Amino acid sequence: MIELKDIEKYYASKGVKSYILRHVSTTIKQGEFVSIMGPSGAGKSTLLNILGMLEEPTYGSYSFMGEDVTTLNERKRIELYRNHIGFVFQAYHLIDEMTVEENIEAPLLYKKVPGAERRSRVADILDRFNMVAKKDLFPNQLSGGQQQLVGIARALVAQPSIILADEPTGNLQSAQALQIMELFKKLNEEEGITIIQVTHSEVNAAYGSRILHLLDGVIKEDVNL
């Protein structure tokens, strides 16, 4: 599903190149649950952003579902992105001015899903996440764990084939973190959604099927659990 070949990323400042990623090559198949680990500054988030098409690599090729992302134009890339990728952030990144329901609905609007289907899918997901009672609340009226659930619900409502999560439990207490990881595992096993997460926690990584260890922009280890 994902194929990275010789991905490089660096920022040039005053003629000095500071590398974030060097010669990253790997393949991730449909249905895998991958954790990217490594110390701060290793390039984990950058790698995730490149996978999520939010950043472009300086060199190298990235093919997503057989299409070379680096050569696609914006319209096609957005198309690909809208239909297949869901993002979950450490800081949730919900839109403060919108209610829970509206936040979840937003990606469907951009996907141009018709109104009736939109409503049924939002209702469906609210039901699944036990949040029907909270649908009219604003993000700042929810706890961190609940906010992250909304974040995940928002990522799932567009029915992506892959979820990219950047330290999804980083801001949460351990009990809530556990709940989120269980949810990921369930989604991965029952619905076959590919999950790639960046994490610091060995515990969280243990939920996955594969761990990529990153150090100074290079893949040091690739472990299948």
Partner 1 sequence: MFKLNLKIALRNLWKHKGYTFINLTGLAIGMASCILIFLFIRFQFSFDEDHKNEDRIYRVVTHWKYNAFDDVSSGVPVPFAAAARNEIAGFEKVGSIFKRGGIIHVNDQNGKTTIKTQQAIYYTDPDFFEVFSDIKWKYGKPQQALSAPNTVVLSEGFAIRFFGNTERAIGKNITLGINTNLEVTGVIQDMPQNSSFPLGIIVSYQTFYGRNNSNWDSVNSSSSCYVLLKEGVNLDDVQVQLDQFNSKYYPIQKVAGNQNNQLQALRDIHFSTAYDNFGESTIGKSEVYGLAIIGLFLMLTACINFINLSTAQSVNRSKEVGVRKVMGSKRKQLIVQFLTETFALSLIALLVACVIAEMVIPSMQNLFNGQIEFSLFSHPIILLFMAILVVIVAFLAGFYPALIVSGFSPALAIKNKISLNGKGLSIRKVLVVFQFSITVVLIIGTLVIVRQMEFVQKKSLGFNPNAVAMVSILGDSTSVTKFNTFREQVLPVSGIESISFCQSPPLSDDVNATDFTYNGIKNKDFELRTVRADENYFKVFDLKLIAGKIFMKSDTANGCVVNETFLKKINVSNPQDAIGKMLDASGNFMPITGVVKDYNDKSLKEGISGVAIFPGKNQYWNTAIKIDAKKIMPAMKEVERIWNRTFPNGIYQANFVNDEINSYYEGERITGVLFKVFAGVIIFISFIGLFGLISFVATQRTREVAIRKVLGASTIELVKMLNGSFLIMVFIANLIAWPLAYLFVKKWLAGFAYQMELTAWPFVLAMCISMLITLLTVSIRSYKAAVANTIDALKYE
Which amino acid does the sequence have at 46? Answer: T
Whichever of 140 and 224 has its CB closer to partner 1, that residue is 140
Residue 86 near residue 101 (C-beta atoms within 8 A)? no
Residue 195's SS3 state is strand
Q: Does 169 help bind partner 1 (rule: CB under 8 A)?
A: no
Among 6, 17, 95, 117, binds partner 1 (CB under 8 A): 95
- Tell me if 200 contacts partner 1 by CB under 8 A: no
Measured from the CB atom, the residue of 171 and 209 that comes closer to partner 1 is 171
For 121-128, which contacts have Cβ atoms below 8 Å and span 24 or more sequence positions? 121/157, 122/157, 125/153, 125/156, 125/157, 126/100, 126/101, 126/153, 128/153
Contacts of 70 (CB under 8 A, 6+ apart): 56, 57, 60, 61, 62
* All residues at 6 or more sequence positions from 38 whose CB lies less than 8 Å from its CB, including other chains: 44, 213, 214, 215, 220
Closest CB 133 distance from partner 1, rounded Å: 24
Q: Which is nearer to partner 1, 90 or 197 (CB)?
A: 90
| Window contacting partner 1 (CB under 8 A); options: 7-15, 73-81, 123-131, 209-217 | 73-81
Number of other residues whose CB lies within 10 A of the CB of residue 182: 11
In the window 47-66, what residues touch partner 1 (CB under 8 A)? 49, 52, 54-55
> Site for partner 1 (CB under 8 A): which residue of 7, 158, 181, 214?
158
Q: Are strands 16-28 and 2-13 parallel, antiparallel or unpaired?
A: antiparallel
81 binds partner 1 (CB under 8 A): yes
Q: How far is the CB of 111 from partner 1 (least distance, A)?
A: 6
Q: H or E segment at 107?
A: helix 100-110
For partner 1 (CB under 8 A), the number of binding residues is: 26
Would you tell me which residues interact with partner 1 (CB under 8 A)?
A: 49, 52, 54-55, 74-75, 78, 81-82, 87, 89-91, 93-97, 106-107, 110-111, 154, 158, 167, 170
